[in-house]
Amino acid sequence: MSRRTWSSFAVAALGLILPVWAHAAGTGAAQPGAEGLWKGCLIYKQAELEADVIVELARAADGKWVGTLDLPNQRIQFHPLSNIKVEGSAVTFDFNRFAQKAQVMVETPYTGTLSADGNTITGDFFEGKKSHRALTLTRIGAPGSERPEPRMADLRPLSDSSEELRALFNRDAGKTRLLILLSPT
Amino acid sequence: MQKYVLETIPDDNLRVYVVWGPMLGEEEEKDAKEATAHLPDPRVTHFWTPTHVLAEGMDGPLGIEGSRAWDTFQLFGPDARWGETPPVPAFMMQVNKPLPPETRLNGEKLAQKVREILATK
């Protein structure tokens, strides 16, 4: 199980989703549907501004669709989706969130088409109902399956003299070196 | 960075140093710790500084006097040495700096430059 904090939806859904999915898998005949863990990338400007997206879609025991969306770059995790509909190959949902800074609700409908092999959903992410953004989701797992685990690395303190960095930089002489100064948020 | 540079260039002659700091003012060390997950490559070394000293000290060599060097991507060849002051990079890209638009960060262009410098060794 992931060590990440699960939302109340995810915790509740685990108990409901897994048996449904396991039953479908057990029949051996079911074509993969929209249920699953999906990954995509919103490209605002190729190689300059891009944002990964994780979507989880599942059916609860009562048959209703449930789902969440993650935007890791914006630290949005397990944000509940609304109005999820799957009709044939048509997949639609709404990603609505309150923008704290602007103090407004930003509504983003997604309309997609599930591929015949069930491995991709190709669609349109209508961000804030203002700008259309292509978003292709690729299946990376079953609903309720473990998500890619973020692995944190060691973080070294850097003094004002930057001596720690200077020493490492010079120790790595002979290699190509890339120095990046960034905000973590 | 991860997608365009580290995932496409497996060369062990590449090293990356990321200095996380309070560019916006309120960032904390715990934010930096979490952010390391975005660059999990073993060739990357992560540092945290709570001050602007390094960013301010690099504005001159980068030609951005008065503008801290946060959001810069500085590439150095194999011969570069850090003496009294940081060396001038062989190539740099940036975000929101008063520099020509062709220096604006682009992952594909940065990766191409990394390959070029790696090939000179």
| Residue range A78-128, pLDDT digits in tens | 999 999 999 999 999 999 999 888 899 999 999 999 999 999 999 999 999
CA distances from B66 to A129, A133, B57 (A): 39, 37, 10
Range A64-71, long-range pairs (CB < 8 A, 24+ positions): A65/A93, A66/A9, A66/A13, A66/A17, A67/A93, A68/A7, A68/A9, A68/A10, A69/A95, A70/A147
Distance CA A75, CA A183 (A): 14
The pLDDT assigned to A31 comes to 62
User: What does the domain layout of chain A look like in residue ranges?
Assistant: 1-30, 36-141
Segment among A63-72, A151-160, B62-71 with least mean pLDDT: B62-71
- Chain B nearest-CA distance from A147, in A, is 14
Residue B102 has pLDDT above 80, yes or no: yes
The pLDDT assigned to A30 comes to 56
Residue A162 has pLDDT above 50, yes or no: yes
Percent of chain A with pLDDT strictly greater than 90: 69
Q: Which CATH code fits A36-141?
A: 2.40.128
The pLDDT assigned to A28 comes to 44
Distance CA A87, CA A169 (A): 57
Distance CA A23, CA A8 (A): 24
Span B76-99, average pLDDT: 93
- Chain B nearest-CA distance from A152, in A, is 4
pLDDT grade for A27, boundaries at 50, 70 and 90: very low
Question: Which residue of B11, B56, B71, B76 is the best one to mutate when testing the A interface, meaning the one whose CB has the most A CBs within 10 A?
Answer: B76
Distance CA A39, CA A108 (A): 17
Residue A185 has pLDDT above 60, yes or no: yes
pTM of the shown model: 0.77
Tell me which amino acid residue A30 is. Answer: A
Examine the predicted complex and report whether its ipTM is higher than 0.85.
yes
